[in-house]
Amino acid sequence: MNLSDIELSISPLLQHFHNAQKRLVTSNITIINQLNAHIQANKGKQLRPLLTLISACCCGLPLNAEPTHPIFNTAAAIEMLHTSTLIHDDVIDNSNLRRNSPTINNLWNNKTAVLIGDFYLAQVMKTINAIDNHLLTSAINDCVIEMCEGELLQQQYSGVYNTDIDIYLTIIKKKTATLLSTCCLAGAILTNDDTSLHQDAAKFGSELGIAFQMRDDIIDFLPSDITGKPQGNDIREHKCTLPLILALNDETTCNSIFPLLSKNNPDDNDVELIIKSVSNGGFLDKATNTMHQRLDNATQCLHRFPKSPYRQLLSDIISILKQPII
């Protein structure tokens, strides 16, 4: 089972989502359409709208739902929200590549990147407001605030190698997990009036999101030819991720890598030595175990959903994340 198989299981709904997405990003301004074309040509797995739709199916959305159902505009708006944060992240991090393609700020400039990110965010709020569901509007508003808080908190602790796991969890809950939580919550809100089900959906998405970020932290330590991502990028950006926190809580490893981490600009040799120390110390395995615990928490949340093929699809996503990275 992979994400393509899961997408195939709800393909009629995904088609409505894609149509809604196209409507929301289309403009009569030429440069906006040029930027959209580049963004769509280099889009990711679109996990967030997938979670939104499957959560809605778990709570009662039929596979033959009308294309006018608000779930499709909501899923499209959530994907636009995610995209806007990535565009802004690339500006903040001075990134030239995303998914092996040039970033907006690289091809155009920072000003253009910030503005198209703002345009996407404005479209999100306009779309959600038009749906006129106060629970949904509140959830999206809270999500945007939490994500901004998470980014700012991460900036506050950039280069500060604090080994307090609670601070790390607060950052990733706000920065990453809150959006996945909101995806699942939105699907429940628009298809079911049971507030306890809303809470279960939000909790499932949060646990999944925490695990998702932990997995991303682990991937940063693995070779680029395996992951397709630059190895050690988080180390170069002075981010204190889960494997590093676990390593720094070990006195021997801390003594060997802290001087390297403390450099303003660790070179490739420094990064390689840090990666080797963390890997050889078994801290990637410990981080993987912690990630699996969160996925197990997500599985427990699923048990409170009505049994259905769609609940199984969410379980399949958990299984995909549990697959060995290498």
Number of domains in the chain: 1
DSSP secondary-structure letter at 64?
T
Whether the CB-CB separation of 302 and 314 falls below 8 Å is answered with: yes
Quote the pTM value: 0.94
| Rounded average pLDDT per 10-residue block, the chain, 326 residues | 91 97 93 93 90 97 96 98 93 81 90 95 96 97 96 88 89 97 98 95 98 96 80 89 95 94 90 96 96 97 91 96 85
- The CATH number assigned to the domain holding 129 equals 1.10.600.10
Predicted confidence at residue 226, as pLDDT, reads 76
Tokens 């802290």 identify what position? 258
- DSSP letters, 95-147, are --EETTEE-HHHHS-HHHHHHHHHHHHHHHHHHHHHH--HHHHHHHHHHHHHH
Nearest to 181 by CA among 48, 319, 7: 48
Phi, psi of 148, rounded to the nearest 5 degrees: -65, -40
- DSSP H/E element including 34: helix 30-41
DSSP secondary-structure letter at 174?
I
Handedness of CA 151, 25, 202, 141 (dihedral sign): positive
Q: Three-state DSSP class for 62?
A: coil
Whether the CB-CB separation of 226 and 326 falls below 8 Å is answered with: yes
Whether the CB-CB separation of 189 and 200 falls below 8 Å is answered with: no
Going along the chain, which residue ranges are E strands?
97-98, 101-102
Handedness of CA 104, 106, 112, 118 (dihedral sign): positive
CA distances from 47 to 64, 82, 209 (A): 21, 10, 11
Expressed as residue numbers, the domain containing 54 is 3-322
Helices (H) and strands (E) in the chain, counts: 18, 2
